[in-house]
C-alpha cells in the first residue's frame, strides 16, 4: 500500500511502527523507491539568523530566554552575512537554505523587511529558501511567498496530547493555524517533530496522524532525535536509540509516501551504518554544517565522504518528487531536444517554455 491517505488511525500506524524490523524496512524501502530516487538525498543548510532570547518555554530548546544555557545570543544577521553563508553552503553541495529566527511570532517592521530581503537574495542564487520564524499571519505568509520563499517550517513537535507536556506558551492549534496560513500561498510546508522527549510510541503515532490528516500533506517532514541540552527541562533525557529512529523514519515514509523525509537533529549520535539504514528506510534529506541552529551537527566533509561511500548523490534544487521512471522518461525527452528539463514546485508541474512545449508535442 503506497497511495496517499488522509484517514490513517493511530492504531494502524502503531501496527506499522511495531512490525518486525526487516518487514518494516522492506515495505518502507519499496514505497520509497516507487516515489523517490533512492540514491539521491537533498543536502540542506540550517542557519540561525537570530539566536536566543525567545519568550517561549519549549522544553527542548536552549534558545528560550528563561533557561540558563550556554547559548550565545545574537541580533538579526545582515543580508550580506546571510548571502555569504548561503554561497558557502552552495559550494559545499547544499541546494536548500533554511533560516531560523528565535521568535515566537513574526512582527511586521524593519526586521521582517530584512528577512524578506534575505529570501530574495538567496532565491537569486538558485537555491531553495526555507524559513522557520514562528507563527505567521496570512498576510505575512503572502509577503514571504512574494519574496520567493520556497518552504516554511513549522513543526508540530509531537502528538496533540503530549505537546502540552513540552510547551505551554503556544498551543497545538496555533501551529496548525500557521500551517493553514502558509497553505493559502504557493509556499510548500515543512512540518515534523522530535522523538526522545519522554513521549510514548502512541504519541509518535499521534503526531503522524496529525501530519497525514493535513490536506495536502506536508511536502517535507523533519524527524529529529532530541539533543538534550544542559539547562533545559529535558536535559536528563537519554538519547533515543537508532532503532527508534529507523522505525520512525520507515513509518513516516509508509504513511507519507510522497513527502521528503528529513533526517534532522541527532545525527552526531548516529553511526554511518545507522544513517544508511535511515536512508534505506526512506529518509532523503539531511542538514549539513557544523550546527543545527545551536546544536552540534556532522561536518559537511564527513557527510560528503558518507555520500561517496554509500553511492548517494546530492539532490539539485527545485526537484519535483516523481517516480524515478517518470523522471527518467521526461529527462530523455528533453535530452532529445538538446535541452535541460526544469522541475518546479510547489505548483507540482513541469514548467517549460512555449517553444519546448511545441517540440515535446512533436516528439509524441
Say which residues have a Cβ less than 8 Å from residue 182's Cβ, sequence separation at least 6: 136, 141, 152, 154, 189
Predicted confidence at residue 287, as pLDDT, reads 84
3-state SS assignment for residue 207: helix
Same domain, yes or no: 350 and 244: no
Residue 328: Cβ within 10 Å count: 12
- pLDDT digit string, tens, across residues 208-251: 999 999 999 999 999 999 886 777 777 777 889 999 999 999 99
- 5 found inside a domain: no
Query: Residue 22: inside a domain, yes or no?
Result: yes
Instruction: Please give the pLDDT value at position 64.
Output: 62
Q: Residue 66 has what pLDDT? A: 61
Distance CA 148, CA 129 (A): 8
Write down the pLDDT at residue 151.
95
Q: Are residues 208 and 345 in the same domain?
A: no
Q: Break the chain down into helix, strand, coil percent, rounded to 5.
A: 40, 20, 40
> What pLDDT, in 10s, does the model give residues 310-349?
999 998 888 754 334 434 444 444 455 454 443 333 333 3
Pick the last residue of a domain from 281, 296, 314: 314
Q: Is residue 64 part of a domain?
A: yes
Between helices 354-363 and 324-336, what is the axis angle to 10°?
Answer: 100
Domain co-membership, 41 together with 76: yes
CATH number of the domain to which 47 belongs: 3.20.20.70
Average pLDDT for the chain? 82
Percentage of residues in the chain having pLDDT higher than 70: 78
**Do 86 and 127 form a contact (C-beta atoms < 8 A)?**
yes
Is the distance from CB of 147 to CB of 131 less than 8 angstroms?
Answer: no
Which residue is it, cell 527518467? 328
- 10 or 361: which carries more pLDDT confidence? 10
Burial class (CB in 10 A: 0-12, 13-18, 19+), 165: middle
If asked whether residues 221 and 331 sit together in one domain, one would say: no
Sign of the dihedral defined by the CA atoms of residues 257, 209, 211, 232, in that order? negative
Nearest by Cα to 208 from 251, 177, 178: 251
Confirm whether 199 is domain-assigned: yes
pLDDT, mean of residues 149-160? 92
279 and 348 assigned to the same domain: no
Is 29 part of any domain? yes
Cα gap 61→242, rounded to integer Å:
22
Question: How does residue 59 score in pLDDT terms, banded at 50, 70 and 90?
Answer: low
Q: Are 257 and 31 in contact, with CB atoms under 8 Å apart? A: yes
Q: What is the pLDDT of residues 161-175, one digit of tens each?
A: 998 888 778 889 998
Residues 258 and 329 in one domain: no
Place of cell 512540518: 191
Indicate if 190 and 252 belong to the same structural domain.
yes
Q: Which residues are tagged catalytic?
A: 54, 58, 61, 98, 130, 190, 262
For residue 60, the model assigns a pLDDT of 66
- Is 55 part of a structural domain of the chain? yes
Query: Do 306 and 348 belong to one domain?
Result: no
Domain co-membership, 239 together with 348:
no
Q: What is the mean pLDDT of residues 10-30?
A: 97
Residue 37 within a domain? yes
Radius of gyration over alpha carbons of the chain, in Å? 20
Q: Is residue 289 part of a domain?
A: yes
Residue range(s) defining the domain that contains residue 353: 324-363
Residues 6+ apart with CB under 8 A from 190: 98, 130, 132, 151, 152, 153, 154, 218, 219, 220, 221, 222, 262
Residue range 87-112, pLDDT digits in tens:
988 988 889 999 988 787 788 899 99
Q: Which residue has the cell 501496527?
A: 15
pLDDT tens digits, one per residue of 245-287: 999 999 999 999 999 999 988 788 889 999 999 999 999 999 8
User: What single DSSP character describes residue 54?
Assistant: B
Helix 79-91 with 110-123: angle, nearest 10 deg: 30
**Total domains, the chain:** 2
Whether residue 47 is found in the same domain as residue 187? yes
What does the pLDDT read at residue 265? Answer: 82
Helices 10-17 and 201-213 pack at an angle, to 10 degrees, of 120
**Coil vs helix vs strand at 166:** helix
pTM, entire model: 0.82
Question: Are residues 244 and 341 part of one domain?
Answer: no
* Residues 342 and 206 placed together within one structural domain of the fold: no
Alpha-carbon distance of 119 to 132, in angstroms, equals 12
Amino acid at each position: 500500500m503506497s497511495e496517499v491517505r488522509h484517514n490513517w488511525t493511530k492504531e494502524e500506524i502503531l501496527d506499522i511502527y511495531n512490525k518486525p524490523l526487516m518487514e518494516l524496512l522492506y515495505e518502507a524501502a519499496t514505497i520509497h523507491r516507487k516515489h523517490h530516487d533512492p540514491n539521491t538525498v537533498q543536502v540542506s543548510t540550517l542557519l540561525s539568523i537570530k539566536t536566543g532570547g525567545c519568550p517561549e518555554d519549549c522544553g527542548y530548546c536552549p534558545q528560550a530566554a528563561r533557561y540558563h544555557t550556554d547559548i550565545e545570543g545574537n541580533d538579526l544577521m545582515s543580508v550580506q552575512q546571510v548571502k555569504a553563508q548561503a554561497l558557502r553552503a552552495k559550494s559545499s553541495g547544499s541546494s536548500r537554505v533554511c533560516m531560523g529566527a528565535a521568535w515566537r511570532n513574526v512582527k511586521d517592521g524593519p526586521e521582517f523587511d530584512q528577512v524578506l530581503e534575505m529570501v530574495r537574495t538567496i532565491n537569486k542564487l538558485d537555491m531553495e529558501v526555507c524559513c522557520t520564524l514562528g507563527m505567521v499571519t496570512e498576510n505575512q505568509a503572502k509577503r514571504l511567498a512574494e519574496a520567493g520563499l520556497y518552504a516554511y517550517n513549522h513543526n508540530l513537535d509531537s502528538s496533540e496530547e503530549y505537546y502540552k507536556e513540552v510547551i505551554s506558551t503556544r498551543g497545538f492549534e496555533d501551529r496548525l493555524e500557521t500551517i493553514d496560513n502558509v497553505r493559502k500561498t504557493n509556499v510548500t510546508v515543512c512540518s515534523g517533530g522530535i522523538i526522545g522527549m519522554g513521549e510514548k510510541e502512541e504519541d509518535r503515532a499521534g503526531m503522524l496522524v496529525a501530519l497525514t490528516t493535513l490536506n495536502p500533506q506536508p511536502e517535507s517532514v523533519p524527524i529529529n532525535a532530541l539533543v538534550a541540552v544542559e539547562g533545559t527541562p529535558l536535559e536528563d533525557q537519554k538519547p533515543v536509540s537508532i532503532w527508534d529512529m529507523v522505525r520512525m523514519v520507515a513509518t513516516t515514509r509508509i504513511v507519507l509516501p510522497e513527502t521528503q523525509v528529513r533526517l534532522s537533529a541527532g545525527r552526531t549520535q548516529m553511526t554511518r551504518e545507522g544513517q544508511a539504514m535511515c536512508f534505506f528506510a526512506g529518509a532523503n534529506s539531511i542538514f549539513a554544517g557544523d550546527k543545527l541552529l545551536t546544536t552540534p551537527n556532522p561536518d559537511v566533509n564527513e557527510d560528503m565522504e558518507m555520500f561517496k561511500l554509500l553511492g548517494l548523490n546530492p539532490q539539485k534544487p527545485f526537484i519535483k518528487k516523481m517516480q524515478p521512471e517518470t523522471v527518467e522518461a521526461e529527462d530523455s525527452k528533453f535530452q532529445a531536444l538538446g535541452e535541460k528539463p526544469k522541475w518546479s514546485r510547489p505548483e507540482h508541474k513541469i514548467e517549460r517554455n512555449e517553444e519546448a512545449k511545441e517540440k515535446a508535442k512533436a516528439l509524441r
